[in-house]
Every structure is written in C-alpha cells, then in structure tokens.
Structure 1
Amino acid sequence: MKLVVQVKLLPTPGQALALEATLRACNRAATYASAVAFAEGLKDRNGLQKEVYADLKAGFGLSAQPTVRVVKKVVDAYATLKANLRAGNLGPSTSKRYRTAVGTPVVFRPGAAQPFDDRCLSWQYDARTVSIWTVDGRMKGVRFACSPDQLKTLVAYRKGESDLLQRGGTWYLIATCDIPDPEVYEPVDWIGVDRGIVNLATTSDGISHQGRRLGRYRRWQARKRADLQKKNTRSATRRLIRRAQKEKRHATHVNHQISKEIVSVAQRTGRGIAVEELGGIRDRVRLRRDQRGTLSSWHFHQLGQHLAYKAKKAGVPFLEVDAAYTSQRCPRCGHTGRANRPDRDHFCCRWCGLAGPADVVAGVNVRDRARSAWVFVTAPAPSP
C-alpha cells in the first residue's frame, strides 16, 4: 500500500528564497506547457515533451530533469481533469463549470506543489537534511523535521517522487512510501460501525464517539466567519481562508482519533471492521435549509477512508455493506419499519419489543450484514 509522509523543511532565509523562486519558475513553465497542450491537443507525454522541451529549458531556467517533471505534471493534470469530467464531478456537460473546464487550459498557481524525483532530490536521513535542485543551482544541507516513526518509514519504504510545496509560509516535502501489505487475518467476528452527525461513529459494542464538541466548534467558527464576511476586506478574506483550513484540520484530526481507536480494538480482539456504504447520500436525501450546512460539512467519507487504510495497514479485514434500513430493522426478529424508530435516539421494535439506542442497533445490523457478506467474499470459486 502507498502512504505519504509529510516532513517540514527548515530552510534558512536564503534557502527559502531559492525554493520560492524554483516553485514559481516550475509553475510558470507548467502553465506555458499547459497552454501549448491545450492549443495543439497534445495530451501524451512524449508528444508534449517534444513540443515544449527546448522552450522550457531556455525560457524558464529549468534543467533537463525538472523540465521532464513539469511536462509529466501537466499530462497528469489533464488526465485528472478527464477523469473528473467522466465521473461527473464537474456537473453535466451543460453546466458553466463543465464548459469552463473543457474550454480553457489548466492553469497552475504560483505556489502549486512541484514533484521532484531522485535525480533532483536526495535525502540524508542521518543528518536530517535534503539536497534539492533549484533555479540557483543544487542546494545542499536543507534541514527537515519529522517524528521518529516518520523517519523510520522514510528510511525503509520511501520510493518514487516527493512533492515540494509551501503552505501558510511553511515549506513541506510530501514523500511517497510503498509499504508492503500485511496479511489479512480471518476475523473471529465483526465490529459494525454506524456513522452519523450527532454521533460521529457508534460501534456494535455500544461505544459512541459523539460529535457535540465538533458541532460546537463548527458553530463557533461559523459565527466568526459571519463576522469576517461582514467586514468585506482583503485582510478579512485572508483570515477566512485560514479559519477554513484550521476547521478542516481539526475535523481531520478528530476522524484520525476515532478511526485509530476502532482499528486498535478490532486488531486486539481479532475482529474485522464493517461500515455502511454511504456513497451518494447527499444526492439521495432532502433536507430543510437549516440542515444543509450540517450535512455538507459531515466528514463521513473521510472517516471511512481513514478506517479503510488504517485497517489495511494493520491487516484488519474491512468491509462496506448495504446501508438500507440499518436504523429501522430489528436485529432480533428482522421486522423493518419506520415506526421502529420513534425518534433519532431510540429504537423499539413494534413486533418483538426489542429496544435500545438507535445508533447501536444500526451498528449491530451492520455487523450482522458483514457476517453474511464475509461468507461470500471468502467462499471458494466454483470449479468449472
């Protein structure tokens, strides 16, 4: 499996200026190459490289290998755009966003990330430094900082490109690590996980990770954003961007904590993890106006991703099961009905009388469906 390790660079003021000039030059070159690719219809790497290689080296101060990386970056950007158009992520073909995407070349921000391969970037792990190509020449001895676990992962598994980027005035290197997949064990049972807004995650064991603190934090951030939006100044706009990034990081941290705890329990008890398949839920449900902001800021997909990759890294079985009626079905007698859930928090079967917290019942139903699904997943294929 592939993981990324983010390390913080600690350049001197002179080194920081060289890195900034390098990033800007590479992105200006990428924007130029993108315009040529759009005008000439060149979306393959070899064709575009033949067309722009000499111009990028002569006009933007790039050496040979960074020029190749810039061309690859442009080709990858158009491949990503094509995939997004095909998946409908930019709306229907009649939408303004879709027409803008197909009618204009891709433009790269001055501070967009730039990939460096092993010819342009080398790591000195013992000294905690890197040597990196810049427009001012090869720059050696740029210090970096990371945790001991990150350093261990870098030394053992780093492979391929590393991306240089600047975020909030701080420089980072994003390194790709290719970690071998551990063998997935045969689970003795399953932990069903019900994801929600009031309770971010509730397991079939009855453990609930509440979202009240995160909800209060988001409401507080919303009030602060409203105050800044009233000012309508450039400074207020910059602070709005910083606040949005801070809120996103906080929600990501919460999801990391929840997923880490659930995977740890599953690994310790020899069980697997099962979640509901919630793809497209925002398109399926209709909400009041005052509820739309809460649903749009619900990070259920990110929590599922964290659970999936942490489970894979630990060798824990992971399944997604059908989410239909998990909160309305009685796990004891199988009776399904809307009346079984009189309100958001409580479940009471109208047929057999089973009662309990609604989210726990949903988690139990997810667990039961995982038991059935795993039988089909592991069943041997029929002989021809």
Structure 2
Amino acid sequence: MRLLGGAGMELTKTVKIQIKLAAESDGDLLRQAMEQYRLACDDTSHYVFNNGLVLNTTKLQSALYRDLRTKFRLKAQMAQSVLRNVTARYKTVRTQLKQKPYRYQDEDGEWQTQTKDLTWLWYPIQFRRPQLDLVRNRDWAIRKNGSFSLNTLDRRITVWPVLNHWLDYFDGTWKLGTAKVLARGGKWFLHISAAKEVPDYEQKQTAHVVGLDRGLRFLGTAYDESGQTTFYSGAKILAKRRRFKKLRAQLQAKGTKSAKRVLKRINQRENGWMTDINHQLSKALVDRYGSDTLFVLEDLTNVRFATEKVAKDRRYEQVSWAFYQLEQFLTYKAAAVGSHVLKVSAQYTSQRCPHCGKISKQQRDHQQHEYRCVCGFRSNDDRAGAMNIQELGRRWLNGTAKPKYTK
C-alpha cells in the first residue's frame, strides 16, 4: 500500500489463482523459463552486490540487458522484469534490516542501537526458488473465454483457472500488474498483483479507537473506546513454535543432505504458518471493528523485546514472531474497509498507569502478568498497555501530531 499524494492511497493485493495446464509439454516449457529466469535473477543479484549495491534500474539495464537477452534467452519484457525483481528484493531486505537494528552494550554497559543497511550483507541475495514474472498484456493476458495466455521462452501457452474466486479483481476497478508463475506440490499457480485506489482516511470519520498491544502470550490485546478488551491468545502458537524449534534441532544434529532438505521444507512450512496466523488475526480485528476504525499500534522500529531477562532456550520464541508482517496485513485490510492504522511511540506504554499516569517499571509484574499501581489501579499488564496505546490514539484525534508519553 502506498500514498498517492493527496488523491488517496493505493491498496495492493496478490491474487492467487491455481491453474491447470493443457499438456505436460506446457509444464516443461514453464519449468525451463522459470529456471532461466531464476538464473538471470541470481546473476543480476551478484552484479548488484559486487558493484556498489546500485539499485537504479536504468543503470542496470545499460549494463546487463544485452546479456540477459543472449545468455539466458529471455524475452524483452522478461529481461526488464528481472531487473525490477532484483532491485525490489534488495529494497525489501533494506527495509527489513532497518526494522532490526544492531544492539550492543557500550563501555558504560548501556544498550545502544545502530541502524543496518545493505552494506551489512555478507553475500549477494540468492534466488533459489524457480519462478517466472510475466508483464501484463505483453507476457500474460486473460482471454474472453476465461483462460490465461502465458509466454515462455519458445511460445505462448494457454492455461485454465481451477476456481473462480479471483473474478472480483477483474471487474475493472483493480489495476492488474505482474503475474508470477509458481509450482508447488505438483500444482501450478499464478500470483497476480492487483492495485486499487481508496480514499484517504480522515480523522473526523473515526467511530472507533482501538489500542492494540502486540505480544507473545497474547498475540494481540485490543482495547476500544467503550472500555471493552479482547484478548487473542498466543499460547497454542508458542507451543507449536517450540515443536518446530525442537524438530529443527533434531534435523540440524543429523547434518545429512536429506535432513537439510527436510529442514528447508520445515522452515518454509513454519513461515507459511506464521503468515496464515497473521492473516487470521488481522482479519479478525477488521471483522470485529469494521469501517471507520482507528487501529493504534506501537511503532516497533528499533524496539526489540528484552532478551537479557529471558531464559536462553526461550529467546527464539521471544524475539522472532513476525510483528512487522502483522502490522502490514492489518494496514492494508483496514484501508480496504475505510479504516486506518496509526503508529505511535512505544515509549513507556508498558510502564504507565492508565488511571493516574504514573510511570514506573516496578508496577508491572512480568511473572504474574499484572500491572499494579500505587493509586489502586490493577489490571492484566497487556490490557494496561493496550489502554495506554488507545489513549495515544485519542490524543492524535484531539490534535497532537506525534503523541507519546514522557516522564
């Protein structure tokens, strides 16, 4: 999702369509094109890494376009797509690095942070999974009979969708872009990017203000303007992650080639499962509160859950949940229904008493998951955090541009 300079914002989604091929030979053509495309992306990535991390597609086209066409036999638009794909991947990694700064203790024992950039990479980004990006109306198109025409290195082929859940995105209100061809579990898929302009969110339309505290014991704790609290438990999530962790340890201990192959599948399975959970939670929040809702979240950039107070064998679960992904999912799902996500400072949101405003570390009991203030206020600590976050959202509505708590 991106802003459009006063005209609203662009909502982007990926439409996933399972397809069936007309013949096995068509599958051979797709596999050949996917492998050549992958090799071209990998080759381009090495060039980017070894030449100052240049991410300007015009400069890359001048240096690499001819080789991409001759060395990998790519069509013109496929070669252009390789350059866009590689630069986009590096920009994504750059954003991810910025979200996870390096933490260290200085000479005085104080914790410091240092923002990471692409120079922190030791190796070029690798493209291991075969895929093929096709440009709309050049390398892929939909026909009047409902089939799709796809380009390969040798000729165009016709494929058919298995289901019709995607038809709403082809009604003319969505702008369709690149189609990725993927093969998984013996099945073929098209992942098509779709964009739609939605109006800007205006403060005056707000009907609900929801503070969302993100964590692990509760993946989300939501507190709204009516004083209602909703807890989204993370207990089963933690248990399953520990099973994944144990299974990985067993496979790593074996160290065989077959174990490494299984380990790769396990990692992919866990990542897919985490993505699904974040989709479910963000959808549940949007379904519960609907349109005209201001979802208020802590800005977790440069924030890392303190691990020095967590047992070493539990630190993996404590720091590695995809909170940023949840934020992204909630942002675009909220925008789709006319709601908005506001990020506020995370400073003191877990230490402040929502009743009297006193800020003290000692008032939060991590072991009992309770917040107790000298004023008499007592509550679940995640709920107290959500209440403080919700209050910052109300301050924003009342005219404070960047609300935060200070001692």
Give SS of 2:274's match: helix
Kindly indicate whether residue 373 of structure 2 is the aligned counterpart of residue 349 of structure 1.
Answer: yes
User: Given that residues 162 and 175 in structure 1 are in contact (C-alpha distance below 8 angstroms), is that contact kept between their aligned partners in structure 2?
Assistant: yes
2:265 — aligned with what?
A: 242
2:321 aligns with: 298
Residues 78-89 of structure 1: pairs in structure 2 closer than 5 A:
83=94, 87=98
2:280 alignment counterpart: 257
Write the distance in 1 (CA, Å) between the matches of 2:69 and 2:20: 29
Once residues 360 and 80 of structure 1 are traced to their aligned partners in structure 2, the CA distance between those partners, rounded to angstroms, is 33
Q: String of CA shifts for 1:162-213, please: whole Å, max 9, x gaps.
A: 2223345443322111112145362134111111111111111221111111
Q: Which whole-Å CA distance do the structure 2 matches of 1:344 and 1:263 have between them?
A: 30
CA separation in 2, counterparts of 1:369 and 1:38? Answer: 42
Matched, 1:27 2:38: yes
Change in CA separation of 1:227 and 1:120 when aligned onto 2, cut-off 3 Å: same
Amino acid corresponding to residue 25 of structure 1 in structure 2: Q
Residue by residue over 1:248-270, the C-alpha shift from the partner in whole angstroms, topping out at 9 and shown as x without a partner, is 222222222221121222226x5
- 2:168 is matched with 152
Equivalent of 1:13, from 16, 24, 41?
Answer: 24
Q: CA deviation at 1:272?
A: 1.9
What TM-score, normalized to structure 1? 0.82
Q: How does 1:37-116 map to 2 (within 5 A)?
A: 44-46=56-58, 48-50=60-62, 52-74=64-86, 76=88, 83=94, 87=98, 98=120, 100-101=122-123, 108-109=127-128, 111-116=130-135
Corresponding position of 2:233: 210
Residue 154 of structure 2 is matched in structure 1 by 136
Q: Percent identity?
A: 27
Distance between the aligned counterparts of 1:329 and 1:121, measured in 2? 55
Instruction: Report the Cα offset of residue 348 of structure 1.
Output: 1.8
Count of residue correspondences: 370
Shift, 1:367, TM fit: 0.9
Deviation of 1:304 after TM superposition, in Å, equals: 1.7
* 2:399 match: 376
Quickly say closer, same or farther: Cα 1:170–1:364, change in 2 above 3 A.
Answer: same
Looking at structure 2, the residues matched to 234 and 318 of structure 1 have their Cα atoms a distance apart, in angstroms, of 45
Structure 1: distance between partners of 2:148 and 2:87: 27
Deviation at 1:117, TM superposition (A): 3.3
Q: CA RMSD in A?
A: 3.4
For the residue of structure 2 that corresponds to 1:241, the secondary structure is helix
Matching residue within 195, 207, 211 for 1:192: 211
Determine the C-alpha separation between the residues in 2 that align with 1:306 and 1:96: 25
Q: Return 182-191 or 17-26, whichever deviates more.
A: 182-191
1:19 partner letter:
L
Q: Which runs of 5+ in 1 are unaligned?
A: 380-384
The Cα shift of 1:142 comes to 0.9
The verdict on how the C-alpha distance between 1:317 and 1:67 changes in structure 2, with shifts beyond 3 A counting, is: closer
Question: Structure 1 97/71 Cα, relative in aligned 2: closer, same or farther at 3 Å?
Answer: closer
Question: TM-score with structure 2 length normalisation?
Answer: 0.78
